[in-house]
Amino acid sequence: MIPEATSMTNSSFLENSSPSPENGQENALVSVSAQSDQFLRLHLVQDMTALLPIQQVAEALTIPMGTIVPIPHMPPWVMGVYNWRGEVLWMVDLGHLCGLAPWYEQITSSSVYEAVVLQVADDPSTQTQSKNQTLGLVVDRVEDIEWCDWQAIQCPPNFTLNPKLKQILRGYWWKSNDVMLAVLDGSAILRAMPK
């Protein structure tokens, strides 16, 4: 018997990240501006943290090893396909896609993959009902929700930036204490996929 993947949906993220007196966040909404949004914090590799807009995240998954079926003749960052809710979901090693160390080369004792289901509308600029594109992104670790003001996101620097990472990057956010987080663009990730 194959163990089932565990998941957390977008609504579960929002419930778990809501400010409340129980978790010591009575005044947390006061500091969140009208132009702030929620982002899922994740690690592409152990030492690189990134943010993905929560509106582009359908679910976070923990997938047992051996349940992603490899497909031959694909780019090396395409891990294969996974049965997600009865649908075929292409799984991509996001760190490898960005030009970082592939997942299989990272030192880990885990027997599962941590993944995020990216879901982006085909053409978000139209008012018509459009079909969502989905893609599974295998990452080193999925963490928590961050509030980030869109105006605080800076353009990526032109120097010392991996060109593969730059093509899927919306910018950087400097968090307190000089912590820099890469802000990813889900639409750009989908555009980087082979046609």
Phi and psi at residue 76, to the nearest 5°: -65, -20
Please give the chain's pLDDT, 195 residues, in tens: 444 555 555 544 444 444 443 444 433 333 445 578 899 999 988 888 999 999 999 999 999 999 999 999 999 999 999 999 999 999 999 999 988 888 888 767 678 999 999 999 865 554 455 578 999 999 999 999 989 888 888 887 666 567 778 888 888 887 777 778 888 999 999 988 876
Contact 136, 90 (CB under 8 A): yes
Closest C-alpha to 189, from 139, 128, 114, 127: 139
Closest C-alpha to 94, from 68, 115, 121, 111: 115
CA–CA distance, 166 with 11 (Å, rounded to integer): 30
For 22, which DSSP code?
Answer: G
Pairing of β 87-93 and β 78-84: antiparallel
Tokens of 113: 């993959």
> The pTM is what?
0.76
Fold designation for 6-14+36-191: OB fold (Dihydrolipoamide Acetyltransferase, E2P) (2.40.50)
CA–CA distance, 56 with 121 (Å, rounded to integer): 9
Instruction: State the first-to-last Cα distance of the chain, in angstroms, to the nearest integer.
Output: 34
